[in-house]
Amino acid sequence: MIYLKTDEEIELMRESNLLVARTLGELAKVIKPGVSTLELDKIAETFIRDNGGVPGFLNYQGFPNTLCTSVNEQVVHGIPSDKPLQNGDIVSVDCGALLNGFFGDSAYTFEVGEVSTEIKKLLDATKKSLYLGIEQAVENKRLGDLGSAIQSYTEELGFSVVREMVGHGVGRELHEAPEVPNYGKKGNGMKLKSGMVLAIEPMINMGTRQIVQEKDGWTIRTADQKMSAHFEHTVAVRKDKADILSSFKFIEEVLSLQSEK
Ligand code: MG
Ligand code: MG
């Protein structure tokens, strides 16, 4: 069952996603070597609650925290820990918030201190592929067009696409139909309709696409322990152009100020 959202519902979802975007912006201010992902988690939980929201992932199917924090070879669903981040690490921070009865969902992979050129390429490619996927999130395109845009761009650069974990519809539930794969063939798959709200979230690996789950029952990491990146936006499918409900604006304002220093 796919729930098409009304214009009013989409505006409410913009509010939920704005809260997520602002939360990620707060985290951008503090991510540096020496900070633990558990500290990030506390900041995020406090910020979401102070702004009238409820953490979207906390207690979701038993998940213990507000954020999923996935460091280096971890792909997604990493559990925050008290281990300090180190110079050269990357950390994917995935944040969900419930506000007005609707979920916002967005993720960004941050550099910790100075990372290698090779890693920067992976991050750039993954973020670019997200926007290429979003370009396809318009009425009468198909899910295969969206997945193909992400897959062809990243594979041409020599990276690989995680298959087992996918994007999803989002709304009153964190995970709604349809599944949104980051791979596929043009012209295949379900036709998109205006009012669908999708969380598009490429997970792109430096080495093999194969993944394994850690013994904690949550954390997904690459099988070859090479780096993985993850960026996510929540978008509404529209007639001519997708409407991006989440935003990296707050993160990017902070990062550009930091790079001027
Ligand atoms: Mg997410
Ligand atoms: Mg998601």
Instruction: Please name which ligand lies nearest the alpha carbon of 57.
Output: 1
Query: CA quadruple 143, 146, 150, 153: dihedral positive or negative?
Result: positive
Q: Which residues of 160-190 are buried (b: 16+ CB within 10 A; e: fewer)?
A: bbbeebbbbbbbeebebebebbbbbeeeebe
Other C-beta atoms closer than 10 Å to the C-beta of 258 total: 12
d(CA 205, CA 226): 7
What is the per-residue pLDDT across 12-36, written as a single tens digit (0 to 9) for each?
A: 999 999 999 999 999 999 999 999 9
Q: What is the pLDDT of residues 97-151, one digit of tens each?
A: 999 999 999 999 999 999 999 999 999 999 999 999 999 999 999 999 999 999 9
pLDDT digits (tens, 9 = 90+) for 63-104: 999 999 999 999 999 999 999 999 999 999 999 999 999 999
Element (H, E) at 213: strand 211-213
- Closest by CA to 66, choosing from 44, 98, 35, is 44
Residue type, 79: I
Q: How far is the CA of 107 from the centre of ligand 2 (A)?
A: 8
Q: How far is the CA of 261 from the centre of ligand 2 (A)?
A: 33
Correct CATH for 7-260 of 3.50.50.60, 3.90.230.10, 3.90.1150.10, 2.30.30.30: 3.90.230.10
pLDDT tens-digit series, residues 172-203: 999 999 999 999 999 999 999 999 999 999 99
Closest ligand relative to 107 C-alpha: 1
Q: Is pLDDT above 80 for 261?
A: no
Average pLDDT of the residues in 3-12:
98
pLDDT of residue 89: 98
Tell me the pTM: 0.98
Mean model confidence pLDDT for the chain: 98
Instruction: Map 56-119 to HEC letters.
Output: CCCCHHHCCCCEEEEECCEEECCCCCCCECCCCCEEEEEEEEEECCEEEEEEEEEECCCCCHHH
What separation in Å is there between the alpha carbon of 155 and the centre of ligand 1? 23
- Pair 139, 194: CB distance under 8 Å: yes
**pLDDT score, position 260:** 85
> 3-state SS string over 162-189?
CCCCCEEECCCCCCEEEEECCCCCCCCC
Dist CA 18 CA 10 (whole Å): 12
Encoded tokens for 168: 């999803």
Distance 105 CA to ligand 1 centre (A): 5
Give me the residue spans of the domains in the chain: 7-260
- The pLDDT value recorded for residue 212 is 98
